[in-house]
């Protein structure tokens, strides 16, 4: 898949490298600021599994 993307990018190797870095940065930005905040309420990572209240064991 990466080879296909590399072949589809126009220009010589330095231009392809810059475009590949720009695509990588764009994908990271999209995930960080759009996808992860959208998915955060649906993820159970912050759900506490341990009861911290005073129980029968005291």
Q: Using an 8 Å Cβ cutoff, are 31 and 17 in contact? A: no
pTM assigned to the model:
0.66
pLDDT at position 47 over 70: no
Secondary structure class of 1 (helix, strand, coil)? coil
pLDDT of res. 9? 94
Q: Using an 8 Å Cβ cutoff, are 2 and 13 in contact? A: no
Look up tokens 């759900």; give the residue.
47
The candidate with the shortest Cα–Cα distance to 23, out of 6, 37, 1, 11, is: 6
Rounded CA gap, 17 and 10, in Å? 10
């Amino acid at each position: 898949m990466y080879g296909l993307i590399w072949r589809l990018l126009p220009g010589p190797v330095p231009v392809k490298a810059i475009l590949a870095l720009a695509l990588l940065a764009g994908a990271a930005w999209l995930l960080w600021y759009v996808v992860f905040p959208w998915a955060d309420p649906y993820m159970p990572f912050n759900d506490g599994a341990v009861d911290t209240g005073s129980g029968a064991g005291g």
